[in-house]
Amino acid sequence: MKNLLTCVLIATGLLGCAAQPAKLQQERSYVLEWIGERPLIDDSHLTLTLASDGRAYGNAGCNHWFAPYTLDGERLSFGHVGKTRKLCAPALMEQEKRFLQALETVQRWDMSPVDQLRLWPAEGKPLRLWPEEG
């Protein structure tokens, strides 16, 4: 609703500002939708939060994960990823492994035309995430 009101005000000349592009936000949780070319298993909930102190963390589907990260403009990289040691169904464990390995290959980030966060490896398709609601 706020964006619609802003567009109406801009269109009528009552507001003279340009639309703000979406940006990567620290201290905000993002929910993973795709790992490269594959969507997630139904009802799995993988998350990513970039804390302002250089620590990244979240849920990997079965275990909690954590890693140092470096953010410099559009460059983003993660250090060695650690995790808790809970066991889940083999398919969830395989998905978790792919996610955590993919994080360690991230080199940059951007926003898609639909404001989806994309984390790009050196080669291949990105991790795709949405801001977590609530």
Residue 6 forms part of a structural domain? no
pTM above 0.85, yes or no: no
In a domain, 13, yes or no: no
Full residue range of the structural domain in which residue 56 is found? 25-131
Does 91 fall in a domain? yes
DSSP-based three-state secondary structure for 101:
helix
Residue 26: predicted pLDDT: 85
Q: How many residues does the chain have?
A: 134
Q: What is the CATH number of the domain that holds 100?
A: 2.40.128.270
Contacts 24+ apart (CB under 8 A), 41-49: 41/91, 41/92, 41/95, 44/92, 44/95, 46/95, 46/96, 46/99, 47/132, 48/129
pLDDT along the chain (134 residues), means of 10: 40 42 80 91 93 97 97 96 96 96 96 94 94 84
In a domain, 77, yes or no: yes
Report the pLDDT value the prediction gives residue 22, as an integer from 0 to 100. Answer: 59
Q: Is 12 a domain residue?
A: no
Residue 8 lies inside a defined structural domain of this protein: no
Q: How many domains does the chain have?
A: 1
